Amino acid sequence: MADLNTSDLKQLVLHDLHASLGGKMVPFAGYFMPVQYPAGVMTEHLHTRAAAGLFDVSHMGQVILRPKGDMATLVAAFEALMPVDVASLAEGRQRYGLFTNEQGGILDDLMFANRGDHLFVVVNAACKEADVAHMTAHLSSVATVEHITDRALLALQGPGAETALAAWVPGVAEMRFMDVRVFDTAFGPMWVSRSGYTGEDGFEISVPDGGAADLARTLLATNGVMPIGLGARDSLRLEAGLCLYGHDIDTMTSPVEAGLTWAIQKSRRTGGDRAGGFPGAERILHELNHGPERRRVGLLPQTRAPMREGTQLFDPDGTPLGEVTSGGFGPSVSAPVAMGYVAASHATPGTTLEGEVRGKRMPVIVTPLPFHPTTYKR
């Protein structure tokens, strides 16, 4: 989870707040990030599922795309970078997207929102410089690419998130999953989406750096809100069956292999209104129509020992089938859980495989994702 070189790590605008809360700071994606607080990962995880957790995700990239001409031209150019339908996204709505390369692999997964006269894009921290360069290279003739560096990004997640945030921003209670809105608040102009990466209802909140600490302290002073670190963020997204870029998906992995076909709308598929026309379309459309050679699957180890990233997977007869890409203990299900890639012939739920843990082959069963049900407010 950590980078080895700490000499040039950046600090989040809320670094001092994390330290005052007892956050254990570790290197991650070029930043010092809180991996956990004194309560510990298990408590933080379960608290988010039961009440509300506040995450600092300011390391992620925030980008505004402003059209030089009309929005339709920008939308068409942005859509050409991914197999996702951008054109039908209504104003005030957000969608999950995927930048792909010519080989059909994933350059990054991201969120993008239609904010009327521009698009707002949130990308992964480790990819943000490359993503900004990618968008600049392909969109600069039709848009200005504005990398936002003076705003923090917080995620408030869990069943208590709405009550906690609505006390200060009443309008958020009206929002539904994937809605986006801008609010004028005491903390500055707040850009809010009803989304997150835990499988729980909640919000992602972009706030000016100058108001970030006051907002964080205000929310943490609210009954039921606890600070949550990277450790619980990882276990929460794993239970929700959500991919972590650089682990479960990368430049070699196609969206179809990764089980992300739900993000590829009919309009971009074979026979659709705007089929193809995106990088890697030949491979991705072929796999959509004929199936990939391997698939991402959920995995339930049949012992108490977690099967972590890199664990090799085998057929019971010893034939290599793939490997684990994310794995650990799932606090909400009280058992080890994992995700990984296996040959499509062995990807059916209920299939028994073996994972090699410390030199021993242990049974593991292919299972549907997610491990824990999602609670988005539709």
At 356 the three-state DSSP class reads: strand
pLDDT of residue 247: 98
Residue identified by tokens 């970078």 is 81
CB < 8 Å & 24+ apart, contacts of 130-135: 131/61, 131/63, 131/99, 131/107, 132/61, 132/63, 134/81, 134/99, 134/107, 135/63, 135/65, 135/81
pLDDT of residue 8: 85
Instruction: Express each pLDDT in 356-367 by its tens digit.
Output: 999 999 999 999
* Count of other CB atoms within 10 angstroms of residue 156: 29
When the pLDDT of each residue in the chain is averaged and rounded to a whole number, the result is: 97
Length of the chain: 378
Radius of gyration of the chain (CA): 21
Burial of 18 (0-12, 13-18, 19+ CB in 10 A): buried
What pTM was computed for the model?
A: 0.96
**Among 8-12, 81-85, 160-164, 226-230, which stretch is predicted with the lowest mean pLDDT?**
8-12
- Kindly indicate the confidence band of residue 1, based on its pLDDT and cuts at 50, 70 and 90: very low
For the chain, what percentages of helix, strand and coil (3-state, to nearest 5) are there? 25, 35, 40
Where are the strands (E) in 216-256, listed by range? 225-227
Percent of the chain exceeding pLDDT 70 equals 98
User: Is residue 3 over pLDDT 70?
Assistant: no
- Kindly indicate the confidence band of residue 4, based on its pLDDT and cuts at 50, 70 and 90: very low
For the residues 215-229, what does the mean pLDDT come to?
Answer: 98
pLDDT of residue 5: 56
Instruction: Express each pLDDT in 229-257 by its tens digit.
Output: 999 999 999 999 999 999 999 999 999 99
Where are the strands (E) in 128-209, listed by range? 143-148, 151-157, 180-185, 188-193, 202-208
Q: Which domains does the chain have, with CATH numbers?
A: 6-57+150-239 (3.30.1360.120), 293-378 (2.40.30.110)
